[in-house]
Amino acid sequence: LVTEMNPNVVVISVLAILSTLLIGLLLVTLIILRKKHLQMARECGAGTFVNFASLERDGKLPYNWSKNGLKKRKLTNPVQLDDFDAYIKDMAKDSDYKFSLQFEELKLIGLDIPHFAADLPLNRCKNRYTNILPYDFSRVRLVSMNEEEGTDYINANYIPGYNSPQEYIATQGPLPETRNDFWKMVLQQKSQIIVMLTQCNEKRRVKCDHYWPFTEEPIAYGDITVEMISEEERDDWACRHFRINYVSHDAHVQGLSPFHTKYGNDLKFTFQCPQIPFIETEPHICLRTSQACTYQAPSSLSSCNRDHMPPNPETTYCLPFTENVC
């Protein structure tokens, strides 16, 4: 006997088969994309390298890395030294309106530069802000005995200065979960100076974890011990000296001098900045990415001034930036 198949059954069967094939194809595509993403993250973290030594003295950044297909942009608009004072006054008119326009243009810079490592799920919790992430080509990589993925990550970037392609490190204010990684970076990078450009709390918002000891009693941060050996408070800044070493290697001792300013304002820096006596020294780590460039720029200009300019009084303009521009 031959029975006719119900047309509805045929349609349902065909749809079921097509749905199964479509789901399988989608899963395969997702797996391939995931593997490609992880591979690119590893390559960008280790193999994708930009030679900071190629920086030109006119301040242009090498944003033409053909390996990643990044586009070259004009990032500078030089102003003659004789016209600088008039330029600043003109830009500051109408409540710094032209400065605001110039700052908006900065937001477009670097959008096409990859930061795959920061986007990995296991690293997202290490970022204080979702829109301030370190670039893969210049991020600081932690050295760890554990080779698991993510153990080398910290939200920090090398910043070139006047004397060295890795003269500064700009990093976020440490989180409670990342303070151990912060001290590991300080010790591994042999940083002698830390400049903290924020308060721990500003306008009832937590900006930075209290990552250093409250007293002179040594505190262990993971496998690193930190001891505050002196503290000096001034009206505008504080200076604390620390001794840090690995817990298991007492012979490895390194002295550090973190400077903590008291001008961490979210809105702006005053144009009448107090003289900071340690501006002439060469810092290595700048906490708080939103004001790191505000410190790094006058520090680099100070180095350039010592090499090329006569010993005249120096004027530093602190521009009212409100977001990360490094």
- Tokens 């053909």, located at residue: 66
Phi, psi for residue 5 in degrees, rounded to 5: -80, 140
| Three-state secondary structure string covering 66-116 | HHHCCCCCCCCCCCCHHHHHHHHHHHCHHHHHHHHHHHHHHCCCCCCCCCH
Q: List pLDDT tens digits, range 141-198.
A: 999 887 788 899 999 999 888 788 888 899 999 999 999 999 999 989 888 888 888 8
The one-character DSSP state at 53 is G
Higher pLDDT, 47 or 304: 304
What pLDDT, on a 0 to 100 scale, did the predictor assign at position 185? 92
Cα 138 to its chain centre, rounded Å, is 9
The one-character DSSP state at 22 is H
Which residues lie below 8 Å from residue 39, measured CB to CB, with a gap of 6+?
Answer: none
CB-based contact 145:53 (threshold 8 Å): no
Extract the tokens encoding 273: 């900045």
Q: Of 47-56, 135-144, 271-280, which has the strongest mean pLDDT?
A: 135-144
The Cα–Cα gap between 76 and 83 comes to 16
CATH superfamily, region 35-308:
Protein tyrosine phosphatase superfamily (3.90.190.10)
What pLDDT, on a 0 to 100 scale, did the predictor assign at position 107? 79
pLDDT tier, 57 (very low <50, low <70, confident <90, very high otherwise): very low
In the chain, domain spans:
35-308
What pLDDT, on a 0 to 100 scale, did the predictor assign at position 270? 36
DSSP string of 144-193?
A: -S--STTTTEEEEEEE--SS-TTSEEEEPPPPTTTHHHHHHHHHHTT--E
Q: List pLDDT tens digits, range 246-260.
A: 887 654 445 555 555
What pLDDT, on a 0 to 100 scale, did the predictor assign at position 287? 60
Inter-CA distances, 187 with 224, 244, 250, 311, Å: 9, 8, 13, 35
Pairing label, strands 153-159, 224-233: unpaired
Average pLDDT value for the chain: 72
The Cα–Cα gap between 127 and 130 comes to 7
pTM over 0.95: no
Q: Looking at the predicted structure, is the pLDDT value of residue 113 above 70?
A: yes
Over range 39-45, report the average pLDDT: 49
- Tokens 């045929």, located at residue: 10
From 21-30, 35-44, 158-167, the region with the lowest mean pLDDT = 35-44
From 3-7, 27-31, 45-49, 212-216, the region with the lowest mean pLDDT = 45-49
